[in-house]
A and B are shown apart, each in its own frame.
Chain A
């Protein structure tokens, strides 16, 4: 401080000075100041009003020191926060992965395909189930009429499916989907491609021969993973009958942990011969482009209502016309419920975690009363103590949040591996996890920190 600044300070302080000693001469004040300047290092007063980064940094050091010293306590304190954050992170990550898988899967068949069936794929009540069961079966004739009369249909076909046991020599595989299809354009509609061998031609298809095209899992499960071209020409037993493998499909992969390759395609005529002619089929209709989908749906609906003899006023079609959106809607509903439940669980564990942190911080303040007294005696202000304990609370919860984020991603990684969907790690959800837990730290640390800041230095120094 220069002499000029010192003089200025005297002038600035004059209102305070005039209190209670009106007869004071300025010269004496200057004299007193002069000797205080001797004792004080020159820059002392000015730096006191700066933002005290030094005190903040001290807060961090103390926080880390205290967390290191009380490792077990810290670990237990973190637990609630870790559980809450990892629950959210893992669920969000898993659902993101599923979203992508679902989007890819359904776009493979595409938004140009819809189906006509006796019952919708999703039935939500017993009443509906009974109503749908009473409907007329959808038959191959329906499919032929639709394809003949519908002008905007591009491809159409029928399919019927059932699970069966499939055998080869002593190898056996349960729960293989047997899919009877006609005509062979159904392979295109299903968006499957031949890896080895061939599909059947229309003659073979209509003559009900025991031939089949198998999914990749069949070679895996019944032929010890033999190369696709090695199993073409082999025989498998379906429902006790021998079937000749004429083709193998390229694998489609898994969805939700379920393989989409564990199936055997047979001609529909063969399917009827083996499993009986009764039972409803599903008619698949593919349009040329997504833009034509709605128009085509309307055409097909009209054709089918006419065939079912439905009047305009009847609200029930007597059949179910569905696109893949049904799945997507159902999926969306399911995941939004999962989100809600997870957010609930996370909120509860964060609140509980916050209470635990608050409790531990109160304990910590009590334990360190003496230390607070010492700090206050050497010049820590209330806000210095307040920030020190707030930093400690935030450090605990942010650490918990970070561990939670890592655990969450770890959990999602394991599930992603097990269920075969991509792991989509998002930096935003990581930041959110740490951010939210830091907020929990502020909220739960505020009261203990305030109590610490308000401690009487004399009482605090006296405590042991």
Chain B
């Protein structure tokens, strides 16, 4: 445990100083990670993807997680997005201890608290834009009329009000990503978690999407962008750099 490095974000006073394992989370943070380890069993060998990572993210922040491939940033993203649970450590999301939840509870958290935006959009190919956006509401048990309304509002928010009945193959890359963003936002999640959101887009469309993120941040959304592109990361207000499963740098840039 001696080699555990915890970067201290030089930001708000409410974020506590790096604390040892077992110390309480910061309840005023939206995300509070404490000594997060993720270990995979590869044959007889144990591979540590994360070596005790701790950080806090307050509500309303626009954060970029940056790092080369194999740095553990995908693992970290999966943990933040509640697609996976840590091998060790505590993860508090919106005052709920996610680290010890079972599959169904995680599904519920993903449904209510997390909005995913993926590099490859991950839309249902046979469903219309509207239906894609409704999907989280379907699994949230929202009745159809309210669902339509909410999905339409979300699509309107990303300027796709005129593309609701189009299927993904009838939309451009940028439009598809905006559908995905509408899907991520429709359930009013605590965090918008984007994994290389511009990785499959040309530079012009990339800028449009990043402008949209900026606008959404301005509207009070908490945004976490995972990327390996420095100019995408530069749009965020805080950058966490991951290397070899550790936080290398955690700086506020804006």
CB neighbours of B108 from chain A (8 A) = 48, 379, 381
| A69 lies within 8 A of B140 (CB) | no
CB nearest neighbor in B for A370: B122
**Total interface residues in chain A, CB < 8 Å:** 45
CB neighbours of A374 from chain B (8 A) = 122-124, 135
Q: Which of A24-32, A77-85, A114-122, A176-184 contacts B (4 or more CB under 8 A)?
A: A24-32
Interchain nearest-CB distance for A54 vs B (Å): 5
| A50 lies within 8 A of B116 (CB) | no
Interchain nearest-CB distance for B23 vs A (Å): 8
A190 at the interface (CB under 8 A from B): no
Interchain nearest-CB distance for B81 vs A (Å): 7
- Knowing A48-B108, A371-B124, say if A377 contacts B141 (CB, 8 Å): no
B window 135-193: CB within 8 A of A: 135-144, 147, 183, 187-190
| A16 lies within 8 A of B97 (CB) | yes
A384 at the interface (CB under 8 A from B): yes
B107 at the interface (CB under 8 A from A): yes
CB nearest neighbor in B for A19: B97
- Knowing A50-B141, A54-B143, say if A381 contacts B25 (CB, 8 Å): no
A380 at the interface (CB under 8 A from B): yes
| A54 lies within 8 A of B126 (CB) | no
| A377 lies within 8 A of B97 (CB) | no
- Counting chain B residues whose Cβ lies within 8 A of the other chain, the interface size class is 35 or more
Given the complex of chains A and B, what is the CA–CA distance between A200 and B167 in angstroms?
87
A2 at the interface (CB under 8 A from B): no
CB neighbours of B243 from chain A (8 A) = none
CB neighbours of A20 from chain B (8 A) = 22, 24, 90, 97
Given the complex of chains A and B, what is the CA–CA distance between A33 and B139 in angstroms?
23
Main secondary structure on A side of the interface with B: helix
* Residue from B90, B118, B136, B139 in contact with A52 in the complex, judged by beta carbons closer than 8 Å: B139
CB neighbours of B116 from chain A (8 A) = 377-378
Given the complex of chains A and B, what is the CA–CA distance between A39 and B30 in angstroms?
11
| A32 lies within 8 A of B107 (CB) | no
Q: Mark B107-129, 1 if CB is under 8 A from A, else 0.
A: 11011100010100011101000
| B140 lies within 8 A of A44 (CB) | yes
| B140 lies within 8 A of A382 (CB) | no
| B139 lies within 8 A of A378 (CB) | yes
CB neighbours of B189 from chain A (8 A) = 39
| B141 lies within 8 A of A461 (CB) | no
Given the complex of chains A and B, what is the CA–CA distance between A367 and B235 in angstroms?
37
A window 48-76: CB within 8 A of B: 48, 50, 52-55, 58, 65, 69
CB neighbours of A373 from chain B (8 A) = 122
* Residue from A21, A36, A39, A47 in contact with B25 in the complex, judged by beta carbons closer than 8 Å: A21
| B103 lies within 8 A of A381 (CB) | yes
Given the complex of chains A and B, what is the CA–CA distance between A461 and B116 in angstroms?
12
B window 26-53: CB within 8 A of A: 27-28
| B183 lies within 8 A of A378 (CB) | yes
* Residue from A19, A53, A69, A461 in contact with B122 in the complex, judged by beta carbons closer than 8 Å: A461
Given the complex of chains A and B, what is the CA–CA distance between A273 and B18 in angstroms?
125
| A380 lies within 8 A of B103 (CB) | no
| A377 lies within 8 A of B122 (CB) | yes
Interchain nearest-CB distance for A30 vs B (Å): 10
CB neighbours of A55 from chain B (8 A) = 138-139, 141
* Residue from B24, B81, B140 in contact with A48 in the complex, judged by beta carbons closer than 8 Å: B140
| B190 lies within 8 A of A378 (CB) | no
CB neighbours of A48 from chain B (8 A) = 108, 111-112, 140-141
B95 at the interface (CB under 8 A from A): yes
Interchain nearest-CB distance for A169 vs B (Å): 74
CB neighbours of B27 from chain A (8 A) = 24, 28-29, 31-32
B71 at the interface (CB under 8 A from A): no
B61 at the interface (CB under 8 A from A): no
Interchain nearest-CB distance for A198 vs B (Å): 79
CB neighbours of B214 from chain A (8 A) = none
B8 at the interface (CB under 8 A from A): no
B249 at the interface (CB under 8 A from A): no
| A382 lies within 8 A of B104 (CB) | yes
Interchain nearest-CB distance for A43 vs B (Å): 9
B window 70-111: CB within 8 A of A: 78, 81, 83-84, 90, 94-95, 97, 103-104, 107-108, 110-111
17 contacts across the A-B interface (CB closer than 8 A): A20-B24, A28-B27, A32-B94, A36-B95, A44-B187, A52-B139, A52-B141, A54-B140, A54-B147, A55-B138, A375-B135, A377-B116, A377-B122, A378-B110, A379-B110, A380-B139, A381-B108
Query: Which A-B residue pairs are the 10 nearest by beta carbons?
Result: A379-B111, A21-B24, A32-B95, A379-B139, A378-B136, A381-B107, A32-B27, A52-B141, A28-B27, A381-B104
Q: List 17 extra interface pairs beyond A44-B112, A52-B141, CB under 8 A.
A: A28-B27, A36-B94, A36-B95, A36-B190, A39-B188, A39-B190, A40-B190, A48-B140, A50-B141, A53-B141, A54-B137, A55-B138, A55-B139, A379-B140, A383-B104, A458-B83, A461-B118
